[in-house]
A and B are shown apart, each in its own frame.
Chain A
Amino acid sequence: MELFKIQNLSFTYPEQEERVLNDVSITLNQGDFAVLAGSSGCGKSTLLRQLKTVLAPHGDRKGEILYNGIPIDSIDSKTQAAKIGFVLQDPDSQIVTDKVWHELAFGLESLGVNNTEIRGRVAEMASFFGIQTWFHMEVTQLSGGQKQLLNLASIMVLQPDILILDEPTSQLDPIAATDFLETIGRINRELGTTILICEHRLEDVIPMANRLVILDKGKVIADDKPEKSFEILRNLKHPMLHSMPAHMRIWSVLDWKTPCPLTASDGRNALSEWAEENELLPVPERKGREHTEEPRIMLDEVWFRYEKESPDILKSVSLKAYSGELFCILGGNGTGKSTMLSLLSGLRKPYRGKTKGIDEGIAALPQNPQMLLVKKNLREDLLSVFPDKKIEEVADKISEMVSLCRLEGLLDRHPYDLSGGEQQRAALAKVLLQNPNVLLLDEPTKGVDNDFKIVFAQILKELTASGVCIIMVSHDVEFCASYADRCGLFFDGNVVTMDAPQPFFAGKSFYTTTTNRMARHLLPNAVTPEDVIISCGGKVEEQKPPKRSGKIDIMPPEERKPEKLPFWRKILGIVSGTSAMGLLLYATIALDLSQLYSGTDFIKNYAWLYILMFLFFGIFVASISRKAPPREQKLMKGKLSKRTKATILFSLIAIPLTIAAGFMIDGGRRYMIISFLIIFETMLPFFLVFEGRKPQARELIILSVLSALAIGGRAVFFALPGFKPVASMIILTGVAFGAEAGFMVGAMTMFCSNVLFGQGPWTPWQMFAMGVIGLLSGILFRKGILNRDRFSLAVFGSLCVMIIYGGIMNPASILMYYENPTWEMILTAYITGVPADAIHALATFLFLWFLSEPMLEKLDRVKVKYGLIEKDSHT
């Protein structure tokens, strides 16, 4: 039965000429296991996403997609959600809730299934996937493989007819990946679910598949049984053959008449058959270099463990690496390879044994290249390596790196718009700008396709030729066999064997290449496909990496400078600023707190001091802040939404009523009850409005991400007490996403951080205080009073912390516990809190000063790129 019928589908992204998909027609039948293959950028993901309306990218689509004979657009979203399952690439970002059981139930909850049924379906799927043992765990405790299985299970509970998977194993290690793919096979066999998968590990999926669809530049070039599709590919002499599994490549180059071998053992038989009639030549021998020189870097019987009581991670590791070689270390997951890298980079110190050469000139490339890329384009990122130098001084160096890492033409792109392989090279360039002579790589070929690997290998070759010592930890057996100078096997805290690739892999039966597994009975030394091809008398065609280009101009386009401030405003700013700071200092240091209890005189004597201080601050801000550039001015002018106005109005009416009622009923003595009520009354309408308009996925996500960032940001500055980015993040949220979002993030941040650090009677107060800060920054920005430049934001932020947060939280401690507080007590509480608030304010100032511009840029990027915020809050 036909499940999906794609007819003459073409697709073009907005503002682009070229068609990503060009006249694609595919029919999928019930129970099919179809593999979609193609080099990166050929439109695979775009095609897969067309099959589910909510995931389909914006653009111009022609042609038809029929699901069970009905056009896909006319199928309601609930049916689509249930019947068309979609697993994405990154295991981590697909999980949205914090508990395994909740994640499993998430889809069923969305579809409105009742509790009893959810219980049954979740139980069934948890058993099918073997999830029972970690059913109650937090998702953070899971390994990458478990997370991806959880994603799969959380879709399978919806009982889909078809499962679409977009490179689901690219982030997993080989063992977890094989596991995952076997589960997919089981789902297809046992549950009869149709599978459409796009996957790099063809050797694992092809034996299970009954269809192989090959896509090239948006066109289907083959769509048949796997062996037939390969024949088509071979007849076309298509460059994609280079990224096929070794046995298929050998088969295609040597033009064997047998049908295409789909597994390594088929390949073995095919080779035996061929060898019966033909003669095998000796495998070309590649011996390793003998090293007589001093090693560049050395570990000598090194032991390491994390805690005194914990088990040893490294047990007497001895290792030598030389200048100008690529040394690859293979080994299972969690055996301590990454720990060894951190020892080599000097981040951690061994407790026994000697090290040599790890003091300087070492650079480590992180597994995730995104960790090094933060700026709005690649050029700025590369320039940021030299924060204290002028562009002209470093232009030559950067230009050389750009050409070495093949980054020409990418300089103006946003780092996150680059493909995985390009990001890798960008990060590499950034690391290499530090002039290291030892380079440590942690699984650089993970999730990267073959074309990128070839370029990457070429870069490494050029680096080793210039004398750099490269140590690489990897699972990628094929890559190591082809390009390494030496390989080592890491096991049980030690590097067990070390040798040149050919002797290293020739002796192994599991940790070896597919080629070796296929050919070892006849050609024990054959490690790479080229080895077999040569010994069978074939000709090796090398895929050539792109050549280096010459000198590249890295100068950025001219930028407009902000206009200068008039002289009188500068003077006024300096005077008012210094007076305000002076008063603050005076107030915190010189004030004699013991005078506080002497009665009302205190207020007369000192209150003016504070009023004056805030006044000076106000003048300071007014005199020195610039108007935002005209483009942004346009964006920020606008009215508050009706919702926001209504909620504010409600609070304005409810609060005085509560106070009046409190006085009438209890003589105004129960301050605590009244104040709690007021706080709830202020917050409730926001929450109700939020509930009432049923926020969409992207809005929920953005709010939770911002709250989580505000909470998590504490960890960066843990060394500096009181240095929390919370207030700054909330202000930036208000500015970027509007008053309501500001309030929600403010309140949510405080609530959730108290879930983690302990709730108390102070929770509602904190929620209220931070919520108000977010609300206020949103309103003031919309009204054009608050500017977007970093200075206004920084000053506004510190004032908010001093006046609003301090002004609410300090008196709150009195209101919370005393039945009949006096004004003096509240004032004392406020003033004793001033020093702590001043630190908090200073932190907020610094934080906004340094980060407001990049942060707002990032938030804007998300807004613009994905249209996150609904339209009516813009207008």
Chain B
Amino acid sequence: MKNESFSGFHPVVNLAFFVAVLGTTMFIMNPIYLVISILSSCTYLAYLKGGKGFFQQAFYLVPILFMMAIINPIFNHEGVTVLFYLHNDNPVTLEAALFGIASATMMGASIVWFNCCNTVFTSDKIIYLFGRIIPAMSLLISMTLRFVPRFMNYLQNVMRVQKGLHQPKNTKEKLRQALFAFSATVSWAMEQSIISADSMKSRGFGSAGRTAYSIYIFEKRDAATLICLTLLVLGTVIPCVLGYTAWTYYPNFSGELFGIAQFAGYFCYCGMCLLPLIIDLTEERKWNSLRSKI
């Protein structure tokens, strides 16, 4: 992963950003908003993962989205503009078709945003944020994430050992070895768990008043970014709440897409969705100009 500066911000900022983009993407069905969302999410993912990584992630999405887009008009016959009739005499309408495309776009955008989120919002940030509200659960997550690679490693070793002793000749033997390996791992994991529990107790776990330590520090730039984000979210949401960007698909399209209030909303939404990219590019320019001075 590249050295990306938005990841370096305080987890609260990261969380606020992703909650904002996911929330708006999932709840605002205005076509322009959706277009902004999907374009900026794709740009950000491409920026995070590079071209190759982006295509790997996006590739499997295309057929699913295509399916989603066509399912709606087949089952939904609302809408007034009939395009043609299916052989069971049910109409396929333009409104339903476009709604299908809009739904698919929404799903695509939210999945791409989630992909970005998985890259930026690493497990330790999740644990940090949960640690405040639900400390036991957050520890549970941390411990599970600790054990998974450990067990996988053990499991693979057992499988190797098994194979070294006896090369499986058919599927039955393969299955038997796999089950054996899993069984061996379970025995071992259970037995080991007691030592881990001892180690926890020995370091005072279970005493009252446990605190949650973090290596994150809330800096001034985090506050500034958070304020900036809040303003952009307000700028995005206010036109929606006031009904300027309301857009209905059924029975026929209605709503105003272009106007001053609408454009203000689009502008803020662009700013909000591209916030990490803007932060990153500014930092990169600063870095370059610093280097050129040396």
Contact = CB atoms under 8 A, between A and B. Distances in A.
B241 interface: no
Contacts of A55: 198, 201-202
A363 B161 CA distance: 9
A364 B161 CA distance: 7
A707 B189 CA distance: 11
B115 interface: yes
A695 interface: yes
B207 A111 contact: yes
Contacts of B190: 705, 858-859, 861-862
Contacts of A861: 190
Given A111-B207, A701-B143, A756-B145, A364 B164 contact: yes
B164 A858 contact: no
A400 to B, nearest CB: 19
B161 A99 contact: no
Interface residues of B, number: 101
Nearest to B118: A758
Tell me which of A88, A672, A700 has the highest count of chain B C-beta atoms within 10 A of its own C-beta: A700
B203 interface: yes
B200 A866 contact: no
Query: Across chains A and B, which 3 residue pairs bring their CB atoms closest together, nearest first?
Result: A81-B204, A708-B147, A107-B203
A62 to B, nearest CB: 24
Interface string B167-182: 1000000101011111
B189 A709 contact: yes
Q: Size class of A's contact patch?
A: 35 or more
Interface of B: 26-27, 29, 68, 71-72, 74-76, 78, 86, 88, 90, 99, 103-104, 106-107, 110-111, 114-115, 117-118, 123-124, 126-127, 134-137, 139-161, 163-167, 174, 176, 178-215, 250
A81 B202 contact: yes
12 contacts: A54-B202, A97-B143, A97-B146, A115-B211, A416-B191, A597-B90, A690-B136, A712-B148, A713-B155, A755-B123, A817-B103, A858-B183
Nearest to A415: B187
A697 B201 contact: yes
Contacts of A118: 211, 213
A73 B148 CA distance: 37
A691 interface: yes
A340 to B, nearest CB: 13
Contact of B187 (A373, A708, A713): A373
A825 B198 CA distance: 52
A816 B26 CA distance: 9
A650 interface: no
Interface of A: 52, 54-55, 77-78, 80-82, 85-86, 88, 90, 92-99, 101-102, 105-115, 118-119, 122, 136, 138-140, 151, 154-155, 158, 342, 345-347, 363-364, 366, 368, 370-374, 387, 415-416, 431, 434, 597-599, 672-673, 687, 690-691, 694-698, 700-705, 707-709, 711-713, 715-717, 719, 725, 744, 748-749, 751-752, 755-756, 758-761, 816-820, 822, 824-825, 828, 850-851, 854-855, 858-859, 861-862, 866
Nearest to B188: A370
B203 A106 contact: yes
A530 B198 CA distance: 42
Contacts of A155: 202-203
Contact of B26 (A711, A715, A761): A761
B122 to A, nearest CB: 9
Contacts of B107: 816-817
Nearest to B141: A752
B105 to A, nearest CB: 10
B140 A704 contact: yes
Given A101-B215, A113-B211, A115-B213, A345 B141 contact: no
A818 B210 contact: no
Contact of A139 (B146, B180, B204): B146
Nearest to B194: A866
Contacts of A93: 192-193, 195-196, 199
Contacts of B194: 698, 701, 862, 866
Given A55-B198, A347-B163, A748-B144, A371 B193 contact: no
B206 to A, nearest CB: 6
Given A371-B184, A755-B141, A760-B114, A691 B198 contact: no
Contacts of A101: 215
B103 A77 contact: no
B211 A114 contact: yes
B123 A371 contact: no
A700 B140 contact: yes
Tell me which of A118, A139, A347, A712 has the highest count of chain B C-beta atoms within 10 A of its own C-beta: A712
Name B's interface SS. Answer: helix
A371 B157 contact: yes
Given A107-B204, A759-B118, A866-B194, A705 B155 contact: no
A704 to B, nearest CB: 4
A81 B148 CA distance: 28
Contact of B203 (A90, A119, A154, A415): A154
Given A81-B203, A758-B114, A374 B75 contact: no
Given A371-B184, A748-B141, A98 B123 contact: yes
A369 B187 CA distance: 13
Nearest to B137: A687
Tell me which of A88, A109, A702, A854 has the highest count of chain B C-beta atoms within 10 A of its own C-beta: A109
Nearest to A363: B165
A855 B186 contact: yes
Nearest to A753: B148
Contacts of A824: 75
Contacts of B99: 819
Tell me which of A346, A704, A713 has the highest count of chain B C-beta atoms within 10 A of its own C-beta: A704
Nearest to A118: B213
B140 to A, nearest CB: 5
A696 B178 contact: no
A110 B103 contact: no
Nearest to A814: B71
Contacts of B140: 700, 703-704, 707, 744, 748
Given A374-B183, A858-B187, 5 more contacts: A115-B211, A703-B140, A817-B104, A817-B106, A862-B193
A672 B106 CA distance: 13
Nearest to B178: A716
B161 A701 contact: no
A709 B207 contact: no
B262 to A, nearest CB: 21
A126 B249 CA distance: 61
Contacts of B106: 817
B142 A98 contact: yes
A157 to B, nearest CB: 9
Contact of A761 (B114, B123, B176): B114
B116 to A, nearest CB: 11
A274 to B, nearest CB: 46
B178 A158 contact: no
Nearest to B78: A820
B195 A371 contact: no
Contacts of B250: 820
Tell me which of B106, B110, B156, B202 has the highest count of chain A C-beta atoms within 10 A of its own C-beta: B202
A705 B196 CA distance: 10
Nearest to B212: A109
Nearest to B192: A93
A521 B176 CA distance: 58
